[in-house]
Amino acid sequence: MTFVNSPIERSRPWGLVGRAGAALAAGMGVGRFVYTPILPLMTAQADLSPAASAGLATANYLGYLLGALIGVAAPARTRSCPMFRGALVLLVGTVAAMPLTRTTAVWLALRLLAGAASAVIFVVAAGVLLDRLRDRHAHLAGWGIGGVGAGIAGSGLLVLLVREIGDWRAAWWAAAALTALFTVAGWSLPLDRGDAAQPATHRPSSHRWFAALFTSYTLEGIGYVIAGTFLVAAIDQGAHGPLGTAAWVLVGVAAAPSAALWTWLVHYWSRPSLLLAALVLQAVGIALPAVIDGTAAAAIASILFGATFLGVATLSLAVGTHLNFPRSVALLTVGYSVGQILGPLVVTPLLHHGYRQALLLGALTVLAAAAAAALLRIGYPHRLGTPEPVGSAA
């Protein structure tokens, strides 16, 4: 017996891409990352202290880790319509509730819940894309994951507009409305798996390569979150006006098509080689504003960071799927989440001297991730992703 994707993926793959991309735009692009451009408004208008702002970021990272762990512990339940849609509704609710209070404890709880919901949405939507498009339309998965970049750019532009006519509350309300729009668009993402009843398969051991991949992606989580947390702040520190928010928009614009570009390049180079290249470019982008001042350096850094962080995620998750490692998307997301929690803790002692040392440490960490990706290239099993079913007839 041969199991194939449903007629939706075979005849209308762009419908699946659009719905998954919208879900990722809601869960990650807006629901998770909109805090970055709103943070300066909350600091100036809502008396949010630096310690409290860091606490809100950490709460979101912890929530993201919890959501990823749910994906590991209960994969079938996570990939169900009630769980997926419940996460979308919860995310909209937590974003909409942020302007209703000035109590830090409530904000912490809301960002914790938002992080958990974001992780569930990411694990489900990314998993659906990679599983259902892996055979005939694998290159389209990048466009779906690019929804994260579209959400980042859209939310950044929204905050740029709102800050001219409203306050931090209006920014959160606008973000909630945008999250709700993306939620509606992604609501009908098909979650039933055409291969749910697939029999056992011969799976050559992939532990060696998955260990290198897991190490690389966890280190990327550390370096990425250092840049994602402090890149905009570093730009704002040396400029006047909304330059930092504009840089964040540029990150989103560069990110939106980047995953599709990296997956298209798979036609010419292997995924491990592309992963190595993306990590090296990202390290350069993170280090650039730490060694060169000026708007041009900030713009190039934003483009390099935006053009690589989703590419790294897409390539890493695709490699995990190719290796047929059980629950690879959820496990890699857990490693990434742990990295995001460690990142701010590692660089906190360096922040007394500004952001340069923190960015340099982030760049070095991403280079270490590149070294692990280089190990992945040694003897990489290019045909491991298509095992022969046990006892099945074609």
Q: Using CA atoms, how far apart are residues 209 and 320, in angstroms rounded to an integer?
A: 9
Residues 287 and 161 in one domain: no
Residue 9 domain flag: no
212 and 344 in a single domain? The answer is: yes
Neighbour-count burial for 137-154, b at 16+ CB within 10 Å, e otherwise: bbbbbbbbbbbbbbbbbb
pLDDT value, residue 156: 86
| 214, 216, 218, 220: CA torsion to nearest 10 | -150
Regarding whether 71 and 111 lie in a shared domain, the answer is: yes
- Tell me, yes or no, whether 131 and 33 share the same domain: yes
Residue 5: inside a domain, yes or no?
Answer: no
Q: Specify if 11 maps to a domain.
A: no
Same domain for 229 and 317: yes
Q: What is the pLDDT of residues 367-389, one digit of tens each?
A: 999 999 999 988 888 776 444 33
Q: Would residue 81 count as lying in a domain? A: yes
pLDDT of residue 158 exceeding 60, the answer is: yes
Confidence at residue 241, expressed as pLDDT on a 0 to 100 scale: 53
The pLDDT > 70 percentage for the chain reads 86
Confidence of residue 363 (pLDDT cuts 50, 70, 90): very high
If you write DSSP's letter for every residue of 142-185 in order, what string do you get? Answer: HHHHTHHHHHHHHHHHHHHHHHHHS-HHHHHHHHHHHHHHHHHH
Task: Look at residue 290 in the predicted model and tell me its pLDDT.
Answer: 84
**What does the DSSP 8-state code read for residue 383?**
T
pLDDT surpasses 90 at 227: no
Domain closes at, from 191, 220, 241: 191
Domain that holds residue 290: 205-386
76-95 pLDDT, tens per residue? 888 889 999 999 999 999 99
What's the pLDDT band for 185 if we cut at 50, 70, 90? very high
User: Is residue 237 in some structural domain?
Assistant: yes
- 185 and 214 fall within a common domain: no
The model's pLDDT over 97-141, given as tens digits with 9 standing for 90+, comes to 999 999 999 999 999 999 999 999 999 998 888 888 776 666 788
> Looking at residue 392, what is its pLDDT?
29
Mean pLDDT, residues 193-197 taken together: 42
Domain ends where: 191, 220, 245? 191
Residues 260 and 361 in one domain: yes
Same domain, 254 and 183: no
Structure tokens at 377: 């290239």
* Other residues' Cβ atoms within 10 Å of the Cβ of residue 131: 18
What pLDDT score was predicted for residue 324?
83
99 and 182 share one domain: yes
Q: Is the model's pLDDT at 179 over the cut of 90?
A: yes
Q: Which of 169, 191, 213 is the C-terminal boundary of a domain?
A: 191
Q: How many CB atoms lie within 10 A of CB 391?
A: 8
Are residues 213 and 314 both part of a single domain?
Answer: yes
Domain count, the chain: 2
Q: Are 297 and 288 in contact (CB under 8 A)?
A: yes
Distances (CA, A) of 22 to 55, 115, 176, 179, 329: 28, 17, 14, 9, 19
Same-domain check for residues 157 and 247? no
How many separate helices (H) and strands (E) can be counted in the chain? 17, 0
Give me the pLDDT at residue 238, please. Answer: 57
Q: Which amino acid is at 288?
A: L
293 domain-assigned: yes
Confidence (pLDDT) at 164: 84
Do the domain assignments include residue 393?
no
Which pLDDT does position 242 carry in this prediction? Answer: 57
Flag the least confident range among 51-65, 254-268, 316-330, 341-355. 341-355
3-state secondary structure of 201: strand
273 inside domain? yes
- Give buried/exposed letters for 160-191 (b at 16+ CB in 10 A, else e): bebbeeeebbbbbbbbbebbbbbbebbbebbb
CATH number at residue 303: 1.20.1250.20
* 147 plus 271 within the same structural domain: no
For residue 226, pLDDT over 80 is answered with yes
- b or e along 201-236 (b: 16 or more beta carbons within 10 Å of the residue's beta carbon)? eeeeebeebbebbbbbbbbbbbbbbbbbbbbbbbbb
Q: Is the pLDDT of residue 145 over 60?
A: yes
